Amino acid sequence: MPKPTKGPRLGGGPAHERLLLANLAAALFTHKSIKTTETKAKRLRPVAERLITFAKRGDLHSRRRVLGIISDKGVVHELFTEIAPLVENREGGYTRITKLGYRKGDNAPMAQIELVLEPVNPKPKSAKKSAAAAPASTEANEADAAEQDVAVTDEDSAVVDGTSTEVPEADAAEQAASTTEAQPAEEAATDAAAEADGTEETPASDK
């Protein structure tokens, strides 16, 4: 009889081994925790986690793949509707093996395999990642401030170009000063013109 390619063979042959692992997986999904030998627990772990991966997909093809291994429809329904949502956010590691010592009768090493259904806690960020994130945030804030300054300067340029009807205070002061300087010059010009007219008219009156 050829030797198995991976791990010890369970049962009398390959078909018997597949049935044995399928029954162990069905018991695990039903009771969420079972006690068996350490060798069977180690061989059951990859089979059970593969079936849970199919259940997380949730489509019809995956359900048929699981039904090809576990023939009990009630167990498959419980796997897809109850177990899969609990491990939706977990990326692998759906089972846990705990060693229990040795069995009294034949001194076989025993172990308990159970499903890990606890909610996943996010990992704390390391100091290096937080330190690298801080300069990135400061650079982003500086870029936003620069964009705001550019927007303000664009608005000022639009006002100077004449898009706004408001006159700056400095321009109003310059216009007022120019008008006050122009008024005395105009008055002097009119006085000079009047005097010139008087000097020209006086000889005519003497004649």
pLDDT, greater one: 19 or 167: 19
Rounded CA-CA distance 207/198 in Å is: 15
- pLDDT, average across residues 81-97: 91
Q: What is the pLDDT of residue 125?
A: 66
Sort strands 95-102 and 109-115 into parallel, antiparallel or unpaired. Answer: antiparallel
Q: What is the pLDDT of residue 98?
A: 96
- pLDDT, average across residues 93-106: 94
Closest alpha carbon to 13 in 25, 1, 5: 1
Question: pLDDT, tens digit, for every residue of 104-162?
Answer: 999 999 999 999 998 887 677 666 666 666 666 666 677 677 677 666 555 555 544 55
Q: Which of 24-28, 65-69, 156-160 is least confident?
A: 156-160
Q: In what order do the strands lie in the sheet with 33-37?
A: 33-37, 109-115, 95-102
